[in-house]
């Protein structure tokens, strides 16, 4: 699993002109899934996202986590995170998991994030053409790949 985590002051997802998700302070997470991903990746990444100390404390030092500030999450599936751009100018997405593999993992990841955060999260819609709007706070953007844990 690969995730792009962006600290936001607000974010939203719109599909076909209808807003389907909206948060204030928290993180927008773009998630890419490959065939090799498993429950271990879900558990590790969810815990990492909820506990990343990327929010300012009283001394304006990034020392607080999403759970510390009781922030929110919007999770958006994004297969293009696994684009291969080595050859030519047209990216290849062959590494991205097909929907029959990715959807169950995505849905399990949602439940794990909610469990780890202790409250419901907002999501986009898997496979939809989404318009994602955000105000990146900082900017703070972290990229995590569960295949590079060590």
Residue of 9, 24, 39, 80 marked catalytic: 80
Residue of 78, 122, 123, 146 marked catalytic: 78
For residue 150, pLDDT beyond 90: no
* Mean pLDDT on 122-140: 96
pLDDT of residue 149: 78
55 is catalytic: no
80 is catalytic: yes
**Which of 8-12, 22-26, 68-72, 89-93 is least confident?**
89-93
Three-state DSSP at 79 gives helix
Q: Is the preceding peptide bond at 100 cis, omega within 30 degrees of 0?
A: no
Would you give the end-to-end CA distance of the chain in angstroms? 14
Domain 2-142 class, CATH top level: alpha beta
For residue 66, pLDDT beyond 90: yes
pLDDT in tens, 79-97: 999 999 999 999 999 999 9
Q: Is the preceding peptide bond at 139 cis, omega within 30 degrees of 0?
A: yes
* Mean pLDDT on 16-28: 98
How many other C-beta atoms lie within 10 A of the C-beta of residue 64?
Answer: 16
Enter the tokens of residue 2: 């690969």
109 is catalytic: no
Residue of 79, 112, 123, 146 marked catalytic: 79
Per the prediction, the chain carries an average pLDDT of 96
């Amino acid at each position: 699993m690969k995730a792009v985590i962006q600290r936001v002051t607000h974010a939203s997802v719109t599909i076909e002109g209808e807003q389907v998700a909206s948060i204030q302070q928290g993180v927008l997470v773009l998630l890419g899934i490959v065939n090799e991903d498993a429950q271990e990746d879900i558990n590790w990444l969810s815990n990492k996202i909820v506990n990343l100390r990327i929010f300012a404390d009283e001394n304006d030092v990034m020392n607080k986590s999403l759970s510390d500030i009781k922030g929110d999450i919007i999770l958006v599936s994004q297969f293009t995170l696994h684009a291969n751009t080595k050859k030519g100018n047209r990216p290849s997405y062959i590494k991205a998991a097909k929907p029959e593999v990715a959807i169950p993992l995505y849905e399990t990841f949602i439940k794990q994030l909610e469990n780890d955060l202790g409250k419901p999260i907002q999501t986009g819609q898997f496979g939809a053409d989404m318009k994602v709007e955000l105000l990146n706070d900082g900017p703070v953007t972290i990229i995590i790949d569960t295949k590079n844990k060590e």
